[in-house]
Amino acid sequence: MAYRICKSFEIESGHMLAKHPDKCQFPHGHTRKVEFVLEADTLDQNDMVCDFKVVRDTMAGFLDQYDHAMCMNTDDPQYSHFKAAYGERIIDFVKTDPTTEVIAKVIFDFFKTRLAEYAARADMRYPIRPSLKVIKVRLWETSSSWAEYSEENL
């Protein structure tokens, strides 16, 4: 048996899917919910898997870059126009369409790295144990559609 927690955030973000044969190739946005699921076999000294503030503190700045930004494939014919017009509000996906699946993996990879960096710090306000596992990142595109990335075989 294991304990699991989930911390969620909401962001407004857009994307364009250059490889898509239909309407998704055009600029459009989503109210996205990002869920971070963590697991531990036992609870820590505070009777928690991990304090939710750890997730917030490690991810808030990273997720801010996606808020009110447009994710684009650098091969999109309109990429250079959008990049020139909107600068850092265009998030580059090199030769890859920024599908919800792709974005979920980017967020997962960043979170896993940042969590390991946090765990290695000597000044942790909210200690985490080495046994803490990042199970998955689930990224909602709409209220009825999501994609998730996990390194676990669930």
Of the listed ranges 59-63, 110-114, 126-130, the one predicted with least confidence: 126-130
Amino acid 114 reads R
More confident residue, 149 or 121: 149
Q: What is the mean pLDDT of residues 103-130?
A: 93
Per-residue model confidence (pLDDT) at position 146:
98
Beta strands per DSSP E along the chain: 3-15, 28-40, 69-73, 90-93, 133-142, 145-149
Phi/psi at 66 (nearest 5 deg)?
-85, -20
Give pLDDT tens digits for 120-130.
988 888 889 88
According to DSSP, the β-strands at 145-149 and 133-142 are: antiparallel
**Spatial separation of the C-alpha atoms in residues 154 and 32, rounded to whole Å:** 23
Instruction: Name the 3-class secondary structure at 87.
Output: helix
3-class SS at 51? coil
The SS3 assignment for 34 reads strand
Task: Classify domain 3-149 by CATH number.
Answer: 3.30.479.10
Reduce the DSSP state of residue 76 to 3 states and report it.
Answer: coil
Given this model, what pLDDT does residue 125 score? 86
Q: Where are the domains of the chain?
A: 3-149
